[in-house]
Structure 1
Amino acid sequence: MKLRFFLLITMLASTAAFGQGNNYVQNYKKYDGLALTPPMGWNSWNKFACNVDEKLIRETADAMLSSGMKQAGYTYINIDDCWHGERDSLGFIHPDLKRFPSGMKALADYIHSKGLKLGLYSDAGSQTCGGRPGSRGFEFQDALTYAGWGVDYLKYDWCNTEGLKAEGAYKTITAALRKAGRPMVLSICEWGTDKPWIWGPAVGHLWRTSGDIFNCFDCIEDHGTWKSWGVMQILDKQDGLREYAGPGHWNDPDMLEIGNGKLTAGEDRAHFSMWAMLAAPLIAGNDLRNMNQETKQVLTNKKIISINQDSLGIQGFRYSKANGFEIWFKPLSNGKWAVSFLNRSSEVKKLDFDWKKEKVKDDIFNKQLNTNTVVYKIENAWTGKSSGTTKNSIKADVPAHDVLTLILEES
């Protein structure tokens, strides 16, 4: 009797365990050890939208090397929407063979042979934003397929997601990637609607904080049911989010519009400087095959990139703003600091900043710029030239829609 009672209890316990689903075997946590600094690379969407094919991607990989972008730290070649073909009878996705006749595995091998990494795009919904097959219901199959192709980075969008909850949907694709067994950076592209900075750090490596960027410095494009945002509007949307970012988990203010023809040289510098100050992913969105020298100089500026890629991984903060003029600070490793004087206005601003009179403190990360007790050397990050020390005020004319970015180091 006791034996039968024991067996019954064991069976009931076993049934209860199975009744709780797959929680015992699914791992909803991202791959650790990836994106310890903000990812750097290129994405096809801003310039080419749906007009992607194998030839473009191969030529872009070649240009990443010949332009000096790889040497500057750019790693990922990310194919955005519209690479998809159809699913086969078993539900496995295939690339559009008219656009990618050699297949994704051959393309990944080519990109890897250049010392670069391949990124792909999918969507948590039934269709991508461009109307191609989404991953809803096929998450584990898609993850296996991507792993077999050699994909290193997945941008996962949020169109056509009727009835889904963002955190659960992104946990599902994370579990699928873990089951597939190939470490991939997961870029959560949920537009900030469901506060991904709260749950995203455990699930993905970066998360969009807003809707799409628009190729202008300071404007909004209204599409009726949704809006695109200019560079300055995206910048403003980062308020209150810096505490959530750090090595392996980054706020993503969207891809760069530098070199796409509508921003001035000063606006390009301001865009790049502020993304560096934000510790944002640096994902170029221009045609790397046809860059002018001015665009190359912006995208490959080593000092600005060093601000972005600093190992502390602290996102910068706005120290002050008045009349279209803002001052931003970012703590760096080894006691260094970066500072950007951003002129958002349409007229030149005269800067006269007395280091000794200003109390710069980062309360969230417990950092302080001690200019009263320590003398810092000042380097202009854009020119590489010395700008004196913090013993004296810094005086300069900052042009309209431009930036002055400095690096401070103890002398």
Structure 2
Amino acid sequence: MKRSLTLLVLAAGISTGAHAQKFDGLAATPQMGWNSWNTFACNINEQLIRDTADAMVKLGLKDAGYQYVNIDDCWHGKRDERGVIQPDAERFPSGMKALADYVHSKGLKLGIYSDAGATTCGGRPGSRGHEYQDAITYAAWGVDYVKYDWCDSKGLNSVGAYTTMRDAIRSAGRPMLFSMCEWGDSKPWEWAAGVGHSWRTTGDIYPCWDCEFSHGSWSSLGVLRILDKQAGLRKYAGPGHWNDMDMLEVGMGMTEDEDRAHFAIWAMMASPLILGNDLRSMPEPTRRILSNKDVIAVSQDKLGVQAWRFMASGSLEYWAKPMADGEWALMVLNRGEHAVALNYDWKAHQISDDLSKREADFKKTTFNWIDVWSGKLGDTSKKLDAKIAPHSVLLLRLKARG
């Protein structure tokens, strides 16, 4: 019987794989949500997920645009006699279907985690050889998002492995956002636009400004290290297919200035905004950062163009992002250790983007701007005077005068 089921699953893959596509209409803007890994790693259970969904609603994060509640590694129990994956019965005694129903009742969506290898990074059962079976199981549970990792992947071809899981998700019939976590090893930006809705461009993030934290055989990277690895990748991103700079570390031990800069950078770069902190005990300053409507508007702009650095001077970098309806976002990033006074002459710096074919000529057009953090208003007819703290950003939204 088990052999017959396996053959049926394989046959389904062969018959649909050649024509399968990822689900369209998902991740038209970079996905927003929460993931359990950064704070809790393997210490997870169903009550944590329920409480997090409750907090997402109560704290206004759902209204701000966050919608996915994602369970990362270590939810797995064993496979049954038919090979069907089961949740850990002690940690998830009600089962995943009941948990998905609860999350859905809050107007949110549930995400789950697996791995292309035989085992996950946490040593639980991976999906290798069970891709179609797992996708059918997730669909039956009501899962909306699949994060797919790359541990225990020796001997696997990343294009083939991720395409197989994409086809499996499609064949299961339930639209599930497919988040590829391959760490950028095989340059997925060059081949994955038709496979996943987002793909990791680097290894894991670490909650620091500019560091590399060694784990022995691999390293985690700080905010600036990850930003620097995005050079040349913006042309591959767009609606439905995003460069993923990993989950957010806002509220995880950096300074408030660093948290604001981190959040602004991810928004400018059109990276998914996946929270990693404990929402149940989040302090108010962190909540204000993560629910800032103007920063989120930059992230969720429907034009879907990733920012680029158009100028650098000393410790300051100038980044621009064209937005829909003729708007722009301008970020000035202070990478350095000291505050820097800014006296920026708008008319001396026309901004032109070869990718989007958009330009802003401040000699011809005056733009009104708002500082998204302070709420200060101004326009480009006058020089921009500001003082930017170390490890911080100035982020402005610009709109041409009518």
TM-score of the superposition, structure 2-length normalised? Answer: 0.95
TM-score of the superposition, structure 1-length normalised? Answer: 0.93
Mapped to 1, the partners of 2:355 and 2:101 lie a distance apart of 43
Mapped to 2, the partners of 1:53 and 1:224 lie a distance apart of 29
Query: Which residue is 1:335 aligned to?
Result: 326
CA RMSD between the two structures: 1.2
Query: Which residue is 1:238 aligned to?
Result: 230
Query: Which residue is 1:128 aligned to?
Result: 120
Q: CA shift at 1:51, angstroms?
A: 0.5
Question: Which of 266, 281, 306 is residue 315 of structure 1 equivalent to?
Answer: 306
> After superposition, where does 1:12-411 map in structure 2 within 5 Å?
22=14, 26-260=18-252, 262-386=253-377, 388-411=378-401
Q: CA shift at 1:141, angstroms?
A: 0.4
Q: CA shift at 1:362, angstroms?
A: 0.7
Asked whether the equivalents of residues 16 and 171 of structure 2 are also in contact (C-alpha less than 8 Å), the reply is: no
Q: CA shift at 1:364, angstroms?
A: 1.5
- Which structure: larger Rg? 1
**Which letter does structure 1 place at the counterpart of 2:67?**
T
Where 1:164 maps in the other structure, the secondary structure is: coil
Asked whether the equivalents of residues 351 and 395 of structure 1 are also in contact (C-alpha less than 8 Å), the reply is: yes
Where 2:387 maps in the other structure, the secondary structure is: strand
Mapped to 1, the partners of 2:301 and 2:137 lie a distance apart of 34
Asked whether the equivalents of residues 29 and 171 of structure 1 are also in contact (C-alpha less than 8 Å), the reply is: no
**Which letter does structure 1 place at the counterpart of 2:387?**
D
Identity of aligned residues (%): 56
Mapped to 2, the partners of 1:162 and 1:24 lie a distance apart of 26
Where 1:200 maps in the other structure, the secondary structure is: coil
Query: Which residue is 2:3 aligned to?
Result: none
Asked whether the equivalents of residues 132 and 172 of structure 2 are also in contact (C-alpha less than 8 Å), the reply is: yes
**Which letter does structure 2 place at the counterpart of 1:356?**
K
User: Could you list the runs of 5+ residues in structure 1 that have no partner in the other structure?
Assistant: 1-18
Where 1:77 maps in the other structure, the secondary structure is: strand
User: Could you list the runs of 5+ residues in structure 2 that have no partner in the other structure?
Assistant: 1-10
Asked whether the equivalents of residues 350 and 395 of structure 1 are also in contact (C-alpha less than 8 Å), the reply is: yes
Instruction: Indicate how the Cα distance of structure 1 residues 200 and 84 shifts in structure 2: closer, same or farther if over 3 A, else same.
Output: same
Mapped to 2, the partners of 1:316 and 1:47 lie a distance apart of 29
Mapped to 2, the partners of 1:67 and 1:239 lie a distance apart of 35
Asked whether the equivalents of residues 16 and 167 of structure 2 are also in contact (C-alpha less than 8 Å), the reply is: no
Asked whether the equivalents of residues 78 and 86 of structure 2 are also in contact (C-alpha less than 8 Å), the reply is: yes
**Which letter does structure 2 place at the counterpart of 1:381?**
V
Instruction: Indicate how the Cα distance of structure 1 residues 372 and 23 shifts in structure 2: closer, same or farther if over 3 A, else same.
Output: farther
Mapped to 2, the partners of 1:214 and 1:125 lie a distance apart of 24
User: Number of residue pairs matched?
Assistant: 390
Mapped to 1, the partners of 2:279 and 2:120 lie a distance apart of 25
Mapped to 1, the partners of 2:53 and 2:63 lie a distance apart of 13
Q: CA shift at 1:23, angstroms?
A: 6.0
Q: CA shift at 1:27, angstroms?
A: 3.5
Mapped to 2, the partners of 1:24 and 1:228 lie a distance apart of 38
**Higher mean C-alpha displacement, 45-54 vs 376-385:** 376-385
Mapped to 1, the partners of 2:142 and 2:14 lie a distance apart of 27
